[in-house]
Amino acid sequence: MLKGKSIVLGVTGGVSAYKAVHIASQLTQASAQVDVIMTEAATRFVAPLTFQAVTGRPVATEMFGLGSNCGIQHIVLAEAADVIVIAPATANTIARLAAGIADDLLCCTVLAAKSPVILAPAMDANMYENPVTQDNLSKLQARDFITVGPASGRLASGKEGPGRLAETSDILAAISQALGRESDLAAKHLVVTAGGTQEPIDPVRCITNRSSGKMGYALAEAARDRGARVTLITAPTSLPRPARMQIVDVCTAHEMHTAIRDAISQCDALIMAAAVADYRPTRAAKDKIKKEAAELTLELERTPDILGSIKGAFVKVGFAAESSNLLENASRKLHEKGLSLIIANDITARDSGFGSDYNRVTIVDQEGKTDSLPLLPKRQVADRILDRVAKLLG
């Protein structure tokens, strides 16, 4: 979403201004064109040269800077911007934006902009919780300004509370989401499942599988970045939690079934990348099973077939994790479960599938047409699947 995009990064005079260097670096590495505007106060915390070194582009610090190109700088920057992000956004800048003041380059540029504007507030907790700051933020949010954070935790003053600059990953997610706000999944609600369910044997042990959740999380993030409202229903994983989506944590197949039923009332598409247990222990022991007997036999029973039982006027996409007869088994599941598409993946391949950052899938539709993709990063696989979902959603 970021490649080739023009991002204006406004940096204001807060102690977390140094974190904006990382944001600028991440955006530049994602092949975005980053134009930094610094307020005078920001230059007291970080030298403009640092940003210029990271972005490879001149840094704007003055309204009437002599180095500015022939155009009126704030107009040029505003018209070129695909998105403006102000990180950190101090209470002072927030107040001036809310009042429409335009006596410095950053506020002028924002006032002249038609692109989305993202604010990442960062300040002392008392300043953030001050009613006037809250009023200013509410005014700006009512004018479609997007806010990210602040996070809560230890502040420069040594106190704890809200006021820390949001994590860079959350700010980058907000930028991607803003860039994708008019993409092909805009205004659609997608429910995505991820990870491997855990079926309890006793309070300590469970039956699970090797799903890492990467495929499902890639689908959720890709859908978010294409403008969708996303509900991610996830079994336990060790992945960072994706930003800017609703996340429902589940453990068992039964909990996942319940969570999906609750989530799909207004959904446009359900994509089940989760590895849901087909069997669970008939009885989960209340106490930890002692290793006394030489053998232990577990009695298992079937879990609900979630995809097969969920009905509704939404696109249903399933995955088929197969170790043989890939297309035959996948097609059978597509028809048995009444799916719109099924994504067949050979889980015996060492370079893809469970746990891998890559997947090699074949997309099968209801007419039996197949689209076999090469080995791709899971995010690219996700976008190819969402291309098909977007088409089905018309």
Least Cβ distance, residue 296 to ligand PMT (angstroms):
24
Least Cβ distance, residue 305 to ligand PMT (angstroms):
5
Decide whether 175 or 341 has the Cβ nearer to ligand PMT. Answer: 341
Decide whether 94 or 272 has the Cβ nearer to ligand PMT. Answer: 272
Decide whether 5 or 214 has the Cβ nearer to ligand PMT. Answer: 214
Instruction: Write a three-state SS string for the chain.
Output: CCCCCEEEEEECCCHHHHHHHHHHHHHHHCCCEEEEEECCCHHHCCCHHHHHHHHCCCCECCCCCCCCCCCCHHHHHHHHCCEEEEEEECHHHHHHHHCCCCCCHHHHHHHHCCCCEEEEECCCHHHHHCHHHHHHHHHHHHCCCEECCCEEEECCCCCEEEEECCCHHHHHHHHHHHHCCCCCCCCCEEEEEECECCEECCCCCEECCCCCCHHHHHHHHHHHHCCCEEEEEECCCCCCCCCCCEEEECCCHHHHHHHHHHHHHHCCEEEECCECCCEEECCCCCCCCCCCCCCCCCCEEECCCHHHHCCCCCEEEEEEEECCCHHHHHHHHHHHCCCCEEEEEECCCCCCCCCCCEECEEEEECCCCEEECCCEEHHHHHHHHHHHHHHHCC
Say whether the peptide bond before residue 236 is cis (omega within 30 degrees of 0): no
Contact 245, 217 (CB under 8 A): no
209 annotated active-site: yes
Contact 261, 222 (CB under 8 A): no
Least Cβ distance, residue 216 to ligand PMT (angstroms):
6
In whole angstroms, give the CA distance from residue 63 to residue 76.
12
| Binding interface with ligand PMT (CB under 6 A) | 211-215, 253, 272-276, 278, 303-307, 318-321, 333, 345, 347, 353-355, 359
Least Cβ distance, residue 286 to ligand PMT (angstroms):
25
Decide whether 228 or 307 has the Cβ nearer to ligand PMT. Answer: 307
Least Cβ distance, residue 228 to ligand PMT (angstroms):
19
- Decide: residue 66, CB within 10 A, 0-12 exposed, 13-18 middle, 19+ buried: exposed
Decide whether 238 or 297 has the Cβ nearer to ligand PMT. Answer: 238
Least Cβ distance, residue 227 to ligand PMT (angstroms):
24
Could you give the C-alpha distances from 150 to 1, 89, 125, in angstroms and in order?
24, 10, 10
Task: List beta partners, residue 233.
Answer: 193, 248
Decide whether 68 or 258 has the Cβ nearer to ligand PMT. Answer: 258
Least Cβ distance, residue 309 to ligand PMT (angstroms):
8
The single residue of 92, 126, 130, 209 carrying the catalytic annotation is 209
Decide whether 36 or 267 has the Cβ nearer to ligand PMT. Answer: 267
Least Cβ distance, residue 368 to ligand PMT (angstroms):
18
Decide whether 135 or 336 has the Cβ nearer to ligand PMT. Answer: 336
Report the catalytic residues.
209
